[in-house]
Chain A
Amino acid sequence: MLKVHNIETFYGPIRAISGLSLEVPEGKIVALLGSNGAGKTTILKTICGLLEGQPSKGTIEFMGTPLNGLAPEGIVRLGIAYVEEGRPVFEELTVDENLLMGGYVRRDVHGLQRDRDRVMSYFPVLGQRRGQLAGTLSGGERQMLVIGRALMARPKLMLLDEPSLGLAPMAVKEIFQILKTINEEGTTILLVEQNAKMALEIAHEGHVIEAGRVVLSDQAKSLLENENVRCYYLGITGEVSASGLKRHRKKRWR
């Protein structure tokens, strides 16, 4: 569905993505793992055309259409929704108006109404807060709202950036459960997460990103078993040294 081929992205003179290739098959959840500054968010921004003039090299293709050089507004209209990091709701719009903006590219009034009901059934709390300004919502509610808003566009592919960041474990669980449902109902998802365990539990495939490259790609299940991933992204240490200190393995993929 989405094919990223050998892209390079620069911030000024600094290369953030170096020759990265990635494929997101239709109907799947693909997780991107990596530490801070690995380039995960940059990948999503490059796909959405938010970085002007980038990628400077390589191609991005969505369902056969090349995305290079398209403006974000145009890319969104092809059926890609990007849920940004930090849950940026339109604070001075009501919850309802936020959802309406999510469906901005659509003209079918009845379909929009149906989808709004669908979003409210996923996130009942949004239904209770319909007329409230989005700026008054809590962090978890905001995350629900930005996901719901993205769904209103009825996207074929949803890009999610750190949906769990700064949320209570219960809220994270709820949101991931719904992401799974959304996927089962036909939306492909590319998920960027620090919370590797949660991400790999719902994902089908995973890629580990380091310094702007994919260093490891596998089925999510196998990644959960992978010793490097366990040690560096899941925080599970196998060995304990003689003096009782946790010992980190040497990474083997570089």
Chain B
Amino acid sequence: MLTQLIVSGLATGCLYALVALGLVIVYKASNVLNFAQGDMAMVSTFVTFTLLETLHIPFFWAVLLAIVGAFLLGALFEICLLRPVKHPTPLGLIIITVGAQQILYGVAGWIWGYDTKAFPSLLSDLKIYRFGALVISEVNLWILIASVLLMLALLLFFRYTRLGIAIRAMSQNLITAKLMGVSAHWTLSLTWGIASVLGAVAGILIAPITFLDPNMMLNPLLKAFAAATLGGMNSFAGAVVGGGSLGILENLVGGYLTPELKESVAFLIIILVLCVRPSGLLGRHYKHRV
């Protein structure tokens, strides 16, 4: 029972972690909390849906195309909405993302309608695999595999590639990074693209469980905010740890206490973390030396 709850919680947690990573990457690079992160993912998921249902593109190619589309959506979001802002303040930029979220929501409702649709995934929630006493559904298994692979790819990118290191450098000191020859504009668009891809993958993975409608990413987004707060808004590892532990915790509360409280855990955590350790589990507030 316990391992069962932990494993299925971890699968949900991985989805939170993916969305939270998208939030953290953007937050670190441009100091903006991206409220549109969820609905960018929702739009990408609907695009996948259209590619599959209307255009009858094979699953693999549809997902690949949708991911490319998600990257462009993220990058264009930065180029069209944030870059033109003359004297950006964090608050102003956040308002822009809130507005953009509303626009995406409206456009998605206009194109695809507000009624719930089933996502034609190859993965089934009903098919299960057994590992000894442990039972895991096919969807959850693929969620775990895909998220772990994606996070690993991200880790390697930020650790070992020139561009990945440049993004980290830029998020620490923009002016000095420019003086190293880093083109701030393009690097920033790239980070928004990556964040959008992370959301899209989470959306595509979650769609078979939650079904499709313009509200589908609202809950995961709020959970991702909680996860990022728990792990530390400025730490990649924090987003992963926060997402994973939030998913597990939720499931344990749902399993042992009462399912009614399951949804509230996340928000309880936000409040607790902000009271006890505002920088999160792994977040750091660097003290700047002169």
Contact = CB atoms under 8 A, between A and B. Distances in A.
Check if A and B associate. yes
Contact of B178 (A73, A86, A139): A73
Interface stretch (A96-104, A113-121, A177-185): A96-104
Nearest to B179: A82
A71 B289 CA distance: 28
Given A90-B169, A90-B173, A93-B168, A104 B286 contact: no
B174 to A, nearest CB: 10
Nearest to A71: B178
A48 B175 CA distance: 11
A139 B288 CA distance: 12
Contacts of B172: 90-93
**Residue among B176, B284, B290 with the highest chain A CB neighbour number at 10 A:** B176
A79 B286 CA distance: 32
Contacts of A73: 178, 181-184
Question: Would you list the 3 A-B pairs with minimal beta carbon distance, nearest first?
Answer: A105-B181, A76-B181, A72-B178
A93 B233 CA distance: 18
Given A73-B181, A73-B182, A93-B168, A88 B176 contact: yes
Q: Is the interface of B mostly helix, strand, loop or mixed?
A: helix
Nearest to A92: B172
B177 interface: yes
Interface residues of A, number: 27
Interface of B: 162, 165-166, 168-169, 172-173, 175-184, 284, 286, 288-290
A100 B179 contact: no
Contacts of B180: 76, 101-102, 104-105, 149, 153
B169 A93 contact: yes
Nearest to B173: A88
B186 to A, nearest CB: 10
Nearest to A142: B289
Contacts of A81: 179
Nearest to A133: B286
B181 A104 contact: yes
A84 interface: yes
Contacts of A72: 175, 178-179
15 contacts: A72-B179, A76-B179, A77-B181, A84-B175, A84-B179, A88-B173, A91-B286, A91-B288, A100-B165, A101-B177, A104-B162, A104-B166, A105-B181, A149-B180, A166-B290
B173 A104 contact: no
